[in-house]
Structure 1
Amino acid sequence: MSRKVAYGEGRDLLVAATVQVVADKGLRGLTFRAVADLAGVNNSLVAHHFGTREALLAAALEWAVERSIETTGLLALGSGDAFVDSLLASITDQPELQAFQYEMILEARRNPLFRPDVERLYDRYQHVVEQSLAEAGVTGDVAATARRVFATLDGLVLQYIAGVDTDGLRRALHDLWSSVQAATRPNVGA
């Protein structure tokens, strides 16, 4: 049975449901009906807001990236413990955000239609990490450092999604944080 959705809430409700459906069932399980059922609305609302499956997925990917950035602490690196705790809490509390993004990354390899969306995903993360590192005082080639930091984070999050133990990831994140901190210190002997 569908429920009444307040004006302006339908789109976000549908993209959140899309992320959850894909995280749970993969892209093969994604149908307008599955999204509508999870959201508790009529499936015509999905078609009304997005028109195509591809438009729905593109909107959901953008939403998932922004939500992930907001909840991981990438915008403000803070202290090492706060950074590690925030990142781990984000991926343990909302693993569907990352699982969905990885599904889309793999799909972009098979379907060139999604490559621009995935390129935007990586560009967005690169920009946020670069900006955060610069604000934290990282010097030198900040873009290269940001690429290395995000590549490490990307790999660690994928490992978590695959079931690698959280304690090992916590140690790896602390090590990553230490390397970021080292990049903010001026060269004493230079």
Structure 2
Amino acid sequence: MPKRVDPEERRAQIAAALLRVAARQGLEAVSLRHVATEAGVTTGMVQHYFPSKEAMMDFALATVGERYGRRMAANAAALEAEPSPADVVRVTLTSMIPVDADEREDARVALAFQSYAAARPAAAAGLGGTNARFRDHLATQIESCRRSADIDPSVAATALLATAEGLALQVLSSTLSPTEAVEALDQQLALVIGEAVRPPAPELRRAKA
């Protein structure tokens, strides 16, 4: 009797294959055929689960967001039992700075998807909604620990998120080290939430999601 395959498991397998292709060659190299070969399945099977390339890309984009979410949650869970809002803000943002090969791969794919969404309104809407929820979460934490009433938590969250994304890009595309990137981010955090921010560990060790 043929083994039954969980549809969500198969979709996740195909999405993971897409992300590997995108990390190595960029999203322009992604096709149903390339993804099928990478996943070790037929093109027909890919089309069974994803009727179009756009549907496959949308699912893969959501998968990237979930990876980052799990990483941030794992790093936050590694903090002390009752972390301060400042620590939550810091660990959330520093989780965006890639520190090893796996994280660099995810960061390259995330950057590629941002470019992909910029030219596609539907993908941009989905990405925009995710980013808005992320900013709202940061703003709530910043509200609890900002150093001045003149600081708008929503504006600060937007600026800090853009700073973290820009530093991650610098780590990928230049000689900026992860430690230097985190130091720069910490300086920006200090302007918003002051001395409650903890200095980075020298090795920038990560919890594993």
Give the TM bin, normalised by the shorter chain. 0.7 to 0.9
When structure 1 is superposed on structure 2, of 103-112 and 25-34 the one drifting more is: 103-112
Number of the residue aligned with 1:137: 145
Q: Is the contact between residue 32 and residue 47 of structure 1 (CA under 8 Å) also seen in structure 2?
A: yes
Question: Percent identity at matched positions?
Answer: 23
Q: Is the contact between residue 61 and residue 104 of structure 1 (CA under 8 Å) also seen in structure 2?
A: yes
1:1-190 aligned at under 5 Å gives the runs: 6-7=5-6, 8-72=8-72, 76=76, 78=87, 86-88=95-97, 92-134=101-143, 137-138=145-146, 140-166=151-177, 167-182=179-194
Aligned-partner SS, 2:145: coil
Q: Which has the higher contact order (CA 8 A, sep 6+)?
A: 2
Q: Is the contact between residue 89 and residue 138 of structure 2 (CA under 8 Å) also seen in structure 1?
A: no
1:30-81 CA distances to partner (integer Å, 9 max, x unpaired)? 0112222222333323211121111111111122122113214698463798
1:71-117 CA distances to partner (integer Å, 9 max, x unpaired)? 14698463798667754456653222222222122233334453323
Q: Alignment RMSD, CA only?
A: 3.3
Q: Give the total of aligned pairs.
A: 181
Structure 2 alignment gaps of length 5 or more: 77-85, 198-209
- Compute the TM-score of the two structures, normalised by the length of structure 2: 0.70
- Compute the TM-score of the two structures, normalised by the length of structure 1: 0.75
When structure 1 is superposed on structure 2, of 14-23 and 104-113 the one drifting more is: 104-113
Aligned-partner SS, 1:9: helix
Supply the distance in 1 between the matched residues of 2:187 and 2:101 (Cα, whole angstroms).
Answer: 19
Structure 1 alignment gaps of length 5 or more: 186-190
